[in-house]
Amino acid sequence: MTLDPPVADDLAAPFRFEYDPTTLRYAPDAARSLGAELDAQGCDRALVVCGATVGATPAVMDPVREGLGDRLAGVFAETTPAKRLGTAYDGLDRFREVDADCLVAVGGGSSLDVAKVISVLAPTDRDPDAVGRALVDSGTIPVPEAELPPIIAVPTTLAGADLSIVAGVTAHPDTCPVDGPASGGVGDPDLMPAAVCYDPELIATTPRSVLAASAMNGFDKGIETVYAATATPITDATASHGLGLFTEALRAFGDGDDDQWVYQSLAQGVMLVQYGIARADGTTLSLLHAFGHGLTRTYEVQQGAAHAVVAPHALSYLFEQVDGRRSLLAESLGVGDEADPAAAVVDRVDDVVAALGLPTRLRDVAGPDREEFPDVADAVLEDSFMANAPPGLEPTQDDIVGVLEAAW
């Protein structure tokens, strides 16, 4: 196979890559090494933060308990996809009750985000009223200058929320003293987990439907990292290799293959596609995640389903407007020999969506009706991730509505 030579402009483009990654621990039994990781981080008492389903799943919790041993201070199994501020305050009460000095977040992005919010709340005695008002007024929670309790993440899904310095949070009158629902995020370099333990055996315990839906988030992170305006040769390397592992394993997983190599490749793939994407000076998340936010912030459609429905159409639009580094993406996805790399990339993404059994039409998910498309388009265009769109891509409301119509 003959590869095209690098583009001179790509090689000449200056970049600054400031990234402070976490410790990465990978092994088929990584959860049983949690005690050693706590030792390395100088921690003695861990509060495990997870959802009710994970907390009641012995195949997940037994290795975690075994790994932590007498360092397990307690379990807080109350996180939900809503990522409520009130839930974080309940977790903070538990954190203080058991005199923990670190948090072990087990599960998907929701548990990790709640753990991050607990970490932000832990150093001070800010009352829920003040924090809830700050979230409503500013859309965020101030991060104190004091040292935050460290977080060790043990992901069981493929959403790719692990190597991140941000967390989503919502507030609701039922769980926090605010006048009405509010949502926002909190971000700071100190929110990068102290360590992430990637254990393919734990990932294999996740229900296939949950794993399939979460996979589109991680898969799209790798795709966007290649074409984002903030891409670097470093993220090119990790994202490209991660996409190769991810694509092969996702297609095998979708075909019902449960061999060990599938989950090992999924674990390593999701680790690599998100390496370097969340940095103090920005992120590589771009068009696809802006669409995901526009479709899920005010509608009940699940994030992975939203990505599955819209990704092929958004990529087709992108390639109609700009190059989008289609050749590198095609190579990463294993279709570099095709004559039309843009079409090959879109086809391969379609293949992955179909293999995972995810929805392909916007009308089939709990999303917006067609008359609401202009409002969704405005939300997509206003999303902060649009700042990372490829150079030359300047979408209009009509363009975004056109993508939504194609996805309908």
Q: Which residue has the higher pLDDT, 136 or 103?
A: 103
Token pair belonging to 239: 């994202």
Helix (H, G, I), strand (E, B) or coil at 201: helix
361-392 per-position pLDDT tens digit: 999 998 899 999 999 999 999 998 999 999 99
- What percent of the chain lies above the pLDDT cut of 70? 95
CA torsion, points 54, 30, 265, 57, in degrees to nearest 10?
-20
What pLDDT is stored for residue 10 in this prediction? 62
What pLDDT is stored for residue 160 in this prediction? 87
What pLDDT is stored for residue 13 in this prediction? 77
CATH of domain 207-407: 1.20.1090.10
214-268 per-position pLDDT tens digit: 999 999 999 999 999 999 999 999 999 999 999 999 999 999 999 999 999 999 9
Confidence band (pLDDT; 50, 70, 90) for 171?
A: confident
What pLDDT is stored for residue 131 in this prediction? 83
Token pair belonging to 183: 């949502």
Confidence band (pLDDT; 50, 70, 90) for 1?
A: very low
Q: Find out if CATH 3.30.1490.20 is the number for domain 23-201.
A: no
Residue 4: pLDDT above 70?
no
Residue 6: pLDDT above 70?
no
Exposure string for 316-332, b = 16+ CB within 10 A, e = fewer? bbbbeebbbbbbbbbbb
Token pair belonging to 247: 């694509």
Which one of 1-10, 118-127, 171-180, 397-406 scores highest in mean pLDDT? Answer: 397-406
What pLDDT is stored for residue 140 in this prediction? 85
Whether the Cβ atoms of residue 382 and residue 395 lie closer than 8 Å to each other: no
Confidence band (pLDDT; 50, 70, 90) for 11?
A: low
- Report the candidate in 69, 3, 17, 389 with the shortest Cα–Cα distance to residue 238: 17
Give the mean pLDDT of 138-160: 92
Q: Which residues pair with 99 in a beta bridge?
A: none
Residue type at position 25:
R
Residue 395 has φ and ψ, to the nearest 5°, of -70, 150
Confidence band (pLDDT; 50, 70, 90) for 57?
A: very high
Q: Which residue has the higher pLDDT, 397 or 81?
A: 397
Q: Between vectors from CA 61 to CA 74 and to CA 170, what angle results, nearest 5°?
A: 65
14-42 per-position pLDDT tens digit: 888 888 889 999 999 999 999 999 999 99
Burial class from Cβ neighbours inside 10 Å (0-12, 13-18, 19+) for residue 396 reads exposed
**Residue ranges of the chain assigned to CATH 3.40.50.1970:** 23-201
The per-residue pLDDT of the chain, averaged, comes to 91
Confidence band (pLDDT; 50, 70, 90) for 126?
A: confident
Would strands 182-187 and 166-171 be described as parallel, antiparallel, or unpaired?
Answer: antiparallel
**Residue ranges of the chain assigned to CATH 1.20.1090.10:** 207-407
What pLDDT is stored for residue 142 in this prediction? 87
Residue 195 has φ and ψ, to the nearest 5°, of -160, 155
Whether the Cβ atoms of residue 132 and residue 178 lie closer than 8 Å to each other: yes
178-189 per-position pLDDT tens digit: 555 567 788 899
**Cβ neighbours, 10 Å, residue 364:** 12
Whether the Cβ atoms of residue 268 and residue 26 lie closer than 8 Å to each other: yes
Q: Which residue has the higher pLDDT, 129 or 321?
A: 321
Lowest mean pLDDT across 17-21, 43-47, 72-76, 274-278? 17-21
Residue 176: pLDDT above 70?
no
Confidence band (pLDDT; 50, 70, 90) for 280?
A: confident
What pLDDT is stored for residue 124 in this prediction? 87
What pLDDT is stored for residue 238 in this prediction? 96
Give the mean pLDDT of 148-163: 94
Give the mean pLDDT of 81-97: 92
What pLDDT is stored for residue 181 in this prediction? 58
309-354 per-position pLDDT tens digit: 999 999 999 999 999 999 999 999 999 999 999 999 999 999 999 9
Continuous segment of H or E residues that includes residue 72:
strand 72-79
